[in-house]
Structure 1
Amino acid sequence: MGKEKGKVVVLEERVPKLKEQRRQRANRLLVAYIALFFMLLLGVVYAQSPLSNVAVIHVEGNHHIASQQIIQLSGITKQTSFWKVKKDEVEQRVKQHPEVKDVSVKKRIPNRIDIVIVERTRIAYILDKHSFLPILDNGKVLTYAKQVIPSDAPILVGWKEGEAIQDMAAQLANTPNSILNLISEIHYTPNASDERHITVYMNDGIEVSATIDRFAKKIVHYPSIVSQLQPGVKGVLHLEMSAYFKPYKADEGDDKDDENER
């Protein structure tokens, strides 16, 4: 009997403690629910307020395309809700620009959008009267012109729109940039024996006689061939079939210098 009374006393003592623990647990749950409710309420208010709008639109990787052009194509403004920006849709809109090869959009909390551009390479320019039309690495000729003489790619002179220029663009697209940087001008000079003949003027004063076909494979050997020539000697490097160099005659060299000065 003594043991049973002892157990009853212990249980009676524990009942208030259990009730207090349950009450505290219920209070904590209530506080958690209230906090969650207010967080959701604040989230809704934030999403509907100007605070959730895009604050910064950052464009990088572009060299020829103006950042403002990219932003306009993206359709994003500072009145656009950050949470409503769909990256896939923005990327598709920006890719409509002919000079954009690839694009990725990144959303940075709380309200910054990064648009990272990969531009198509300008492999050459076509001389059109007094303007220069860029040719991209996919062979597309842009209709908007550059007024100043470009220095980032060769200039095509005497070319008309057609198959020949597309084939030349394909050759240049397969030519390393290190070689393209050595070329000043490429003239379309068909003759009786080769209707696809070209004359290439290099920045170092050497003239290259070649043909459109296999130009990319042949011109890559230019640095090694020129390194074997006597310093200061100018002339014509023939790359039509087998490669050989023919120096200018004294009077011919003078004529070439006069022509270059003009």
Structure 2
Amino acid sequence: MEKEKIVSIEDRIPKLKQARKKKANRRLIFYLSIFFFLIAIIVYLQSPLSHVKSIIVTGNSFYPEDEVIEQSGIAKGTNIWTINKEEIIQTLENDPLIKNAEVETKLPWTVEIHLIEHERVGYIKKENEYYPVLGNGTVLEESKIKRLSGDAPLLLSFSQEDVLVEMSKELSNLPSNILNIISEIHWTPTDKNKNDITLYMTDGFMVQSSIRNFSEKMKVYPSIASQLEPGSEGIIHIGVGAYFEPFNQEITEEEIISTDGDE
């Protein structure tokens, strides 16, 4: 057998030193990279590059963009990393006209505010002028108009604010295809039920119902109206059940239409 080659310690020392040096250099580069990265972040945070330069507002119809921005408290030049989204959202949603708000930051310097406003569900009349009513019952006193456009029903005799609020919330949950064919809604309370209402529809029918669960009950209206003879005149009662009552005629069994629902 050949004699094994023996490497002396003197031959290995230079290689060990070289390996240690490479390892130390890699460690130094790693720490320097972290150091300069942190320096870059500090410089960025202190520089105009991190300041808000663009504020975009979407979904606003009641307020102009500049009023929404002012209400949010965001200003150009604000450090984008100091913006408290939750606080801004809470501030905006405290406004009675705003149903939902979202705030989004987009680097390097853009802030987007997305709004969902309460929808107009009706009008009330005061001294020959009409005021829009929102889905939360808020009356827009500063948005009065002289003539109705037919885009929402006229709400009459709603003298109690809590009743108007409840009615408005029900209308906000009503499908638009049904809301658009309601011309007038009258609050007609009785000793038995303070929630009774009478509706006048654009197709000529009257409807008697109740505010409670109104949005659910009225979903059957198109089906009921489609079953009636053209030119029929009368009242459609929608409550526990539903039936049609012709004007000046007695109700027959054939005119009773059963539906599910509660008063």
Listed as ranges, the matches of 1:182-201 within 5 Å are 182-188=181-187, 198-201=197-200
Q: Distance between the aligned counterparts of 1:224 and 1:188, measured in 2?
A: 24
**What does residue 252 of structure 1 align with?**
none
| Counterpart selection for 1:80 from 63, 78, 95 | 78
1:70 aligns with 2:61: no
Q: Distance between the aligned counterparts of 1:179 and 1:150, measured in 2?
A: 17
Alignment: residue pair count: 243
TM-score by length of 1: 0.74
Contact 2:188-2:195 within 8 A present in 1 as well: yes
Do the aligned partners of residues 150 and 29 (structure 1) sit closer, same or farther apart at CA in structure 2, a change above 3 Å counting? farther
CA shift digits 1:9-38 (9 cap, x unpaired)? xx3222112222222332333333333322
Do the aligned partners of residues 167 and 48 (structure 1) sit closer, same or farther apart at CA in structure 2, a change above 3 Å counting? closer
Do the aligned partners of residues 69 and 155 (structure 1) sit closer, same or farther apart at CA in structure 2, a change above 3 Å counting? farther
Do the aligned partners of residues 210 and 42 (structure 1) sit closer, same or farther apart at CA in structure 2, a change above 3 Å counting? same
Range that drifts further, 48-57 or 190-199: 190-199
Q: Which runs of 5+ in 1 are unaligned?
A: 249-262
Do the aligned partners of residues 154 and 12 (structure 1) sit closer, same or farther apart at CA in structure 2, a change above 3 Å counting? same
**What does residue 121 of structure 2 align with?**
123
Q: Distance between the aligned counterparts of 1:39 and 1:66, measured in 2?
A: 41
Q: Give the CA deviation at 1:98.
A: 0.8
Contact 1:197-1:211 within 8 A present in 2 as well: yes
Q: Give the CA deviation at 1:190.
A: 7.0
CA shift digits 1:25-79 (9 cap, x unpaired)? 3233333333332222222121111110123323334454444333222111221
**What does residue 27 of structure 1 align with?**
25
Taking only aligned residues, the RMSD between alpha carbons, in angstroms, comes to 3.5
Q: Which runs of 5+ in 2 are unaligned?
A: 249-263
Q: Distance between the aligned counterparts of 1:193 and 1:6, measured in 2?
A: 111
Q: Distance between the aligned counterparts of 1:24 and 1:203, measured in 2?
A: 87
Contact 2:153-2:183 within 8 A present in 1 as well: yes
Q: Distance between the aligned counterparts of 2:220 and 2:194, measured in 1?
A: 24
Q: Distance between the aligned counterparts of 2:211 and 2:96, measured in 1?
A: 27
> What SS does the corresponding residue of 1:220 show, helix, strand or coil?
helix
Range that drifts further, 85-94 or 119-128: 119-128
Q: Give the CA deviation at 1:83.
A: 0.7
Do the aligned partners of residues 213 and 26 (structure 1) sit closer, same or farther apart at CA in structure 2, a change above 3 Å counting? closer
Contact 2:183-2:202 within 8 A present in 1 as well: yes
Q: Distance between the aligned counterparts of 1:146 and 1:168, measured in 2?
A: 20
Do the aligned partners of residues 25 and 123 (structure 1) sit closer, same or farther apart at CA in structure 2, a change above 3 Å counting? same
**What does residue 237 of structure 1 align with?**
235
Work out the percentage of aligned pairs sharing the same amino acid: 37
1:7 aligns with 2:27: no
Q: Which has the higher helix share?
A: 1
Q: Distance between the aligned counterparts of 1:4 and 1:214, measured in 2?
A: 100
TM-score by length of 2: 0.74
Q: Distance between the aligned counterparts of 2:129 and 2:38, measured in 1?
A: 59
Q: Distance between the aligned counterparts of 2:179 and 2:200, measured in 1?
A: 11
Q: Give the CA deviation at 1:82.
A: 0.6
**What does residue 134 of structure 1 align with?**
132
Do the aligned partners of residues 5 and 104 (structure 1) sit closer, same or farther apart at CA in structure 2, a change above 3 Å counting? same
